[in-house]
Amino acid sequence: MGLEQDLERTLLENLPGLGMILDGQGKVLYAASSSREHLGVAPEEMEGNLITEFLVEEDRCQLREAISAGSRWKGEARFLSAGGETRYHQISITPIWEGRGRLLITCDMTGCQQELEEMSIELNLYEAYREIFDAVNDVVLVHDLHTGAILDVNRRFEEMFGFNREEALGLSVEDLSSGEAPYDQENAVRLVRRAARGEPQLFEWRARRKDGTLFWVEVNLKRARIAGTDRVLAVVRDIDDRKRSEEELRRREELYRAVFETSGTAMIIVDRKGTIVEANQMVEEIFGVTREEAVGKKRYMDFIAENDLPMVKEISRKLMTGELSGPQRYEARAVTGDGSEKFLICFANVLPGVGGLASFLDVTEIKRMEKALKASEAKYRTIFESTGTAMYLVRRDGIITDINAEAEKLFGYAREEVVGKMGYADLLHPEEVERAKDFSRKILAGELPTPFQYEARALHRSGRVIEAIVTVSMLPGREESVLSVVDITDKKEYERELGRRAQELKDFVSMAAHELRHPATLLKGYSYTLRRAWDKMEREMREEALNSIDEATERLVELVEELLDASRVERGKLTLELRPVRLDEVLKRALDEMRMRAPDRRIILEKKVEWEEVELDLDHILRVMVILLDNAAKYSPPGEEIKVIVSSREKDILISVLDRGPGIPEEEREKIFDRFYQSGNGKKGLGLGLYIARGIVQAHGGRIWCEPRNGCGSIFHFTLPLRHEDGEQRAGGGL
């Protein structure tokens, strides 16, 4: 056997797949011993038979045509093993021996990832030896058994390392290595020597190309006998992409683990049956069970409170069946290891190929605080309404933002007429306004301590003067103050009456003093006389003096009783005014007001309905239109027009305001209607406009919402019912 033929077969025996040499008709001339591993058939059983006899019948024609074509071919076919098992193979066919033979290399793809990359066979050197040697996709090097010197390389070596064959024969292993331990000459020689002793070596190596770039390879060293001489055969495979993928996978796994463990929420991964297959440390904190107690032993549903189980099961079912997609957020109660309940916000989603992923945020304390806040608000409202005095909340600019029922009674204005529309100065007597404003300026500047109290005259709706004590206090953390107004009109009248009575009392006291002086003088005089001249006075004189003292005493007693008797006598909600209104009247007034507010802004009105009358509260719907138009003007770039579209539907009228502003993120399109909510758009305000607009629209029985506008901007829609069946007035809600 010549060197080339010996090398052919040696190479075929060392391929990672199964190698065979066929003749031009597809008869097997030589099969590598790995046929036993791949097909369960001994090489000698294959040799002399057509290769197609070992294929599934449906695939024979395809392979027969590929062999007959006499050109390079790559494809897939199914082999039948000796045990009758179907094995899927990737096949590469290359013509050899000037077209008289075929080199067939297969890789078993059944249940494993294809390891061989696309073969780039450049078979234009010499006969079968070089064709086989260069047809292998991996780099093949032949080393001297004793020195490790490179004796031969295939064409793939030049493609991978950049050296041609002549250059390669003058290189050492160190020239092809990074040179940094353990990828240096010393370790390379050690590995080659082990292979030379008959110990196959499979390892990863940091290699160097001709241009100096470093990359990862997998090296398989085996001792092989070639042309009667023992050599070390090195098969080198480029695994740089795989190593990068492994590194990226490792990085992603580390990132996943970091997120999984530090998310601040309890996170679990479940299989399709709901059994927990992974859990982070927060699971123990929230559910009271350790990771070891949960993984593989607990089901997701084991932690859900019984009353919430149907809801959670239904959400899980819909996620698994595809009826719901994307993360699902819901609230549920959980039962912890000690039997206590916790309120959770849950997020669940499908985890492809595994089952599902769920995270849990403990909001038990938040729920408690919400409950306490509601109780606090209820307490505040109760106190606010039960103080027995008129109470007002006033903004920094003096506008009244809230009043209680006592304030309505005191001044004669309904709450709807005052809140957001009147300033506290509107309730004062004109002569008191400047003094009250001066007090406000000093309070805001910190020059006057709060609570600060002063007297002022106010005006009832009828024009009647109200004399009052005003107490001003600043609300901590808010740009508002609370004003308590106590009606002291009666008190002042009483004080004036008291003044009159005081004068009368003064006259009375003067007269009483005169009346008391006489008997007191008698008592003093007679008592003095008796004390000095008792023994010298006759009996009749003593009796007379004592009688006079007795009479004076009686008089004093009578006067005191009269004074005591005199003292005893002295202590003795949004209401709608619905009426038929033509929509064009409302829109005209709204547009007129906007032209005054934003004269440079162009507003286009487009109607898709004949003007008709709608039952509504003109002032309140005008307020809604102005709020929406004002927002559109505020957020749209200069020069952009605003469009108003009015269209009719079956049961209601749809009014839309279109702007070209920055738009509103999807997650904020409901929140912007909440009280005090401010979108992150740089525009600041109190955040009450859209909240008030929603309250007005809902009070009319309509609804209001926002959606994105094509191009950019937003569209605000609201509806008004064409008719009301509950009379001309309708109580509002939400304000």
- Range with lowest mean pLDDT among 126-140, 175-189, 460-474: 126-140
Mean pLDDT, rounded, for 428-456: 87
Q: Please name the fold of domain 263-366.
A: Beta-Lactamase (3.30.450)
Distance CA 458, CA 464 (A): 8
Tell which CATH classification among 3.40.1160.10, 3.30.450.20, 3.40.50.150, 3.10.20.30 matches the domain 3-133: 3.30.450.20
DSSP class of residue 413 equals -
Q: Please name the fold of domain 387-487.
A: Beta-Lactamase (3.30.450)
Sketch the domain layout of the chain as residue ranges: 3-133, 138-243, 263-366, 387-487, 493-570, 579-731
Distance CA 544, CA 537 (A): 11
Strands 603-608 and 642-648: parallel
Strands 652-658 and 704-708: unpaired
Which phi and psi angles does 676 have, rounded to 5°?
Answer: 70, 5
If residue 133 lies in a helix (H) or strand (E), which one and from where to where? Answer: helix 128-135
Per-residue tokens: 286: 């929230």
Tell which CATH classification among 3.30.930.10, 3.40.1190.20, 1.10.10.520, 3.30.565.10 matches the domain 579-731: 3.30.565.10
Strands 603-608 and 613-616: unpaired
Q: Which residue has the higher pLDDT, 161 or 352?
A: 161
* Global pTM exceeds 0.75: no
Distance CA 339, CA 622 (A): 56
Mean pLDDT, rounded, for 634-657: 90
Q: pLDDT band at residue 125, thresholds of 50, 70 and 90?
A: very low
- Nearest residue to 6 via CA among 228, 296, 332: 228
Distance CA 56, CA 66 (A): 16
Residue 339, phi-psi category: left (phi > 0), alpha (psi -120 to 50), beta (remainder): left
CB 21 within 8 A of CB 9: no
Q: Please name the fold of domain 138-243.
A: Beta-Lactamase (3.30.450)
* Distant-in-sequence, close-in-space partners of 484: CB < 8 Å, separation ≥ 6: 387, 389, 390, 391, 470, 471, 473
Per-residue tokens: 601: 């802004």
If residue 186 lies in a helix (H) or strand (E), which one and from where to where? Answer: helix 185-196
Cα separation of the two ends of the chain = 102
Q: Inter-axis angle of helices 128-135 and 3-13, to 10 degrees?
A: 30
- Compute how many other C-beta atoms are within 10 angstroms of the C-beta atom of residue 182: 14
What pLDDT, on the 0 to 100 scale, is given for residue 680?
64
Q: Is the pLDDT of residue 667 over 70?
A: yes
- Nearest residue to 256 via CA among 328, 396, 354: 354
Q: Which residue has the higher pLDDT, 622 or 130?
A: 622
Where is mean pLDDT largest: 377-386, 430-439, 468-477? 430-439
Residue 232, phi-psi category: left (phi > 0), alpha (psi -120 to 50), beta (remainder): beta
Mean pLDDT, rounded, for 626-648: 90
* CATH C-level class of 493-570: mainly alpha
Q: Which residues of 674-691 are buried (b: 16+ CB within 10 A; e: fewer)?
A: eeeeebeeeeeeeebbbb
Distance CA 659, CA 663 (A): 9
Tokens 């990863």 label which residue? 204
Q: What is the mean pLDDT of the chain?
A: 82
Domains 3-133 and 263-366 share a fold: yes
